[in-house]
Amino acid sequence: MSHETISQSISIVHPISLSHGKNAEVWDTTGKRYIDFVGGIGVLNLGHCHPGVVEAIRDQATRLTHYAFNAAPHTPYIELMARLTAFIPVTYPVSGMLTNSGAEAAENALKIVRGATGRTAVIAFDGAFHGRTLATLNLNGKVAPYKQKVGVLPGPVYHLPYPSADTGVTCAEALKAMERLFSVEIDVNDVACFIIEPVQGEGGFLALDREFAQTLRRFCDEHDILLIADEIQSGFGRTGQRFAFSRLGIEPDLILLGKSIAGGVPLGAVVGRKTLMDNLPKGGLGGTYSGNPIACAAALATLDAMTDEHLETWGAEQQHAIVSRYESWRAQGLPYLGRLTGVGAMRGIELAHTDGTPAPQQLAQLLSLARDAGLLLMPSGKSRHIIRLLAPLTIEPAVLEEGLDILEACLKQLG
């Protein structure tokens, strides 16, 4: 199928055309079947065409396909926000707004923190990814390809090293870099917020250091700085619990949501302390499509499926399968097999040379080998050398094992 009418600035990982899917399996237009370890890049934690989500979409489509909430409120938006704010595991009163995407949630969060603090500076982290809109580009902790050829970006934005056992950056090293930042680059009293992923997605499924997270929370409180947790990829059960920030023992002030919030239908949200969410003037937040009724219905069905018991079971089963197979591969001495990154069911597998340097060429080879064998994988990491495993949480155990079998066979072929 020709792509001539589609912008060539869009990068395509897998040169196939998909026709349909069911849970963790998809089929292309030639009828070839693939096991899907990409999951729409973290959108399909409940898999393709989850029955509850499909039924909710069909039902809502017979009632109301669209209305702009800021013109006249509609029931699905009201019901979803009540359910969603109750789903956020924090101790303070929560309110929020719905958006069309995670990037749009981040954009609105920047407006909210500016309005609440009267400050403009933002501190983000190396390896971060928060979106492709103009303001979120500057938050990203990576230049190529996102910041190339687009000129001066909205700011001011500063970056710090991301402390994690997966990066080798310690809490002490990150704090030293932060001390230097406020000594050399910017007055701490000019900073509106820190924005951080509890587990980096595009960065390679890197889990944030718990001690640093708690130290950062105290620092923000001491200096009246707001803390934003980007849970767009790590949220809605990806790590085996509702949201990844809970494992860090902190409560962020604002939380960015998206991806798996609505079972594949475009939707995002920014939620957090009610006092923050209500600080802008009437009309300061909103959007024509934000909180579309069909997307809200899909999200309500998603929340129905994501009980704590389900999330814990799904996460534990997937984590056990991945970790046990990885340990087996390490014992076999498979070539180019580096570290296992991440937590829970949010796992990455690094490809590296014997000296520890990234092996992006081997990852590119692996993508092709696996696709030919019927498995779709997604790259990540600064050097595109980390496989991020994003199989649906609902994947059947036999299908998960089949996918890991294919991955093992392809790893053995790398050269």
Q: What is 53-303's CATH number?
A: 3.40.640.10
In the predicted model, what is the mean pLDDT of residues 21-40? 98
Flag whether pLDDT at 151 surpasses 90. no
Flag whether pLDDT at 231 surpasses 60. yes
Distance spanning both ends of the chain, measured CA to CA = 32
Query: What stretch of H or E contains 194?
Result: strand 191-196
Tokens of 31: 């009828």
Amino acid making up residue 369 = L
Residue 2 pLDDT: 62
Question: Which single residue is written with the structure tokens 């395509």?
Answer: 12
Q: Where does the pLDDT of residue 146 fall: very low under 50, low under 70, confident under 90, or very high at 90 and above?
A: confident
CATH 3.90.1150.10 residue ranges for the chain: 308-411
Flag whether pLDDT at 20 surpasses 80. yes
CATH 3.40.640.10 residue ranges for the chain: 53-303
Residue 80 pLDDT: 98
In the predicted model, what is the mean pLDDT of residues 75-88? 97
Give the gyration radius of the chain's Cα atoms: 21
Residue 143 pLDDT: 83
Q: What is 308-411's CATH number?
A: 3.90.1150.10
Rounded CA-CA distance 358/23 in Å is 32
Q: What backbone phi and psi angles, to 5 degrees, belong to 46?
A: -100, 10
In the predicted model, what is the mean pLDDT of residues 64-77? 97
Q: Determine the Cα angle at 397 with ends 393 and 402, to 5°.
A: 110
Q: Which pTM does this prediction carry?
A: 0.96
Amino acid making up residue 339 = R
